[in-house]
């Protein structure tokens, strides 16, 4: 998922780096990871190197290797940064879900998801899938994503709970099924964005699909033949 700030810039992540003169160590690590996110999106994991991150962040040669001694350490830090940003986006969706479920008549989940179709969100979307491919060969990174997905699933479940009819009895199994179906669909939409497929064109259209999935799963579950 991408941030709701959709400035039309390809250098969203690194634009603010040059404005900081003396960042602390944690901020410098975030800056370097944000520069690496842009490189992953543009060139893929094979095109990532310490020197390229230095140049992208407009920092002295050797800065990245000082903070991340190996390429694997850099990739793991970038995966953690992507997870941090993704969870922050989903927290926006669910943090005030009881009062902020709808944004101009469209769910916040649909709005935030669609922000991943354009910059700066698209850059992170592309980088995320590069990292997921790498995670297939890296158990430690795979564990980072597993933990993130577990947290996102629980946060997504809060969103689905808020969509239940006011007079409906709580049905945990149904809500779990709806959550799985909606998040699986959203993941597919994000993957399509990463590869340039924009069949889903608007938050309104996506919101209709989400509502249809939630209703369809409920209907199938309650059907006598289910």
Say if 144 falls within a structural domain: yes
Domain count, the chain: 1
User: Rounded to an integer, what distance in angstroms lies between the CA atom of residue 118 and that of residue 96?
Assistant: 25
For residue 183, what are the CA distances in angstroms to 1, 116, 122, 149, 213?
12, 15, 18, 10, 10
Q: Give Cα 156 to chain centroid, integer Å.
A: 12
Say if 28 falls within a structural domain: yes
Q: How far apart are the first and last CA of the chain?
A: 33
Which of 5, 151, 1 is closest to 86 using CA atoms? 1
Per-residue model confidence (pLDDT) at position 165: 85
Percent of the chain topping pLDDT 90: 65
pTM of the complete model: 0.80
Say if 4 falls within a structural domain: no
Rounded average pLDDT over 164-186: 91
Per-residue model confidence (pLDDT) at position 59: 95
Per-residue model confidence (pLDDT) at position 168: 75
User: Rounded to an integer, what distance in angstroms lies between the CA atom of residue 72 and that of residue 49?
Assistant: 10
Per-residue model confidence (pLDDT) at position 102: 54
Which of 57, 58, 15 is closest to 36 using CA atoms? 57
Task: Name the pLDDT band for 224 (thresholds 50, 70, 90).
Answer: low
Domain coverage including residue 141:
12-222
Say if 188 falls within a structural domain: yes
pLDDT 10s digits, 86-101:
988 888 776 654 444 5
Say if 137 falls within a structural domain: yes
Q: Which two tokens stand for residue 18?
A: 């040059």
Rounded average pLDDT over 171-187: 95
Say if 192 falls within a structural domain: yes
* 120, 9 contact by CB (below 8 A): yes
Q: Is the dihedral of CA 108, 113, 117, 118 positive or negative?
A: positive
Say if 7 falls within a structural domain: no
Say if 3 falls within a structural domain: no
Reply yes or no on whether the pLDDT at 109 is more than 80.
Answer: yes
Which of 84, 87, 75 is closest to 137 using CA atoms? 75
Percent of the chain topping pLDDT 70: 82
Reply yes or no on whether the pLDDT at 177 is more than 90.
Answer: yes
CATH of the domain at 84: 1.10.357.10
* Mean pLDDT, the chain, integer: 86
């Amino acid at each position: 998922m991408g941030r709701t700030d959709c400035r039309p810039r390809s250098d969203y992540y690194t634009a603010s780096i040059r404005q900081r003169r003396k960042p602390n160590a944690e901020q410098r690590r975030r800056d370097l990871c944000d520069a690496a996110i842009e490189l992953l999106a543009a060139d893929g994991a094979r095109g990532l190197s310490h020197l390229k991150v230095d140049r992208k962040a407009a920092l002295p040669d050797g800065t990245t290797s000082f903070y991340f001694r190996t390429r694997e350490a850099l990739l793991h830090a970038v995966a953690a940064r992507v997870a941090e940003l993704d969870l922050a986006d989903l927290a926006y969706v669910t943090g005030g879900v009881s009062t902020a479920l709808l944004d101009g008549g469209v769910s916040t989940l649909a709005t935030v998801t669609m922000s991943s179709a354009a910059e700066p969100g698209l850059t992170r979307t592309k980088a995320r899938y590069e990292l997921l491919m790498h995670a297939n060969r890296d158990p430690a990174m795979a564990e980072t994503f597993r933990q993130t997905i577990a947290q996102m699933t629980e946060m997504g479940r809060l969103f689905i709970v808020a969509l239940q009819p006011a007079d409906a009895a709580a049905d945990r199994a149904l809500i779990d099924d709806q959550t799985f179906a909606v998040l699986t669909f959203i993941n597919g939409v994000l993957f399509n964005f990463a590869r340039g497929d924009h069949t889903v064109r608007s938050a309104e259209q996506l919101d209709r699909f989400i509502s249809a999935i939630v209703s369809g799963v409920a209907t199938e579950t309650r059907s006598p033949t289910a």
